[in-house]
Amino acid sequence: MTRNILRREFLKCALASAVAIPVLSASDARAAGLTPLDPTDPVAQALGFVANAAKAPANPAFKPGQHCGVCMQYQGKSSDATAACGIFAGHSVPSGGWCSAFAQRA
CATH 3.40.50.970 fits 34-106, yes or no: no
pTM of the model: 0.68
pLDDT for residue 24: 43
Is 49 in contact with 97 (CB distance < 8 Å)? Answer: yes
pLDDT for residue 27: 45
pLDDT for residue 57: 77
C-alpha span between 72 and 82 (Å, rounded): 14
Is 2 in contact with 9 (CB distance < 8 Å)? Answer: no
**pLDDT tens per residue across span 57-95:** 788 889 999 999 999 999 999 899 999 999 999 999 999
Is 51 in contact with 44 (CB distance < 8 Å)? Answer: no
**pLDDT tens per residue across span 39-50:** 999 999 999 999
C-alpha span between 39 and 3 (Å, rounded): 61
Backbone angles phi, psi at 56, to 5 degrees: -65, 135
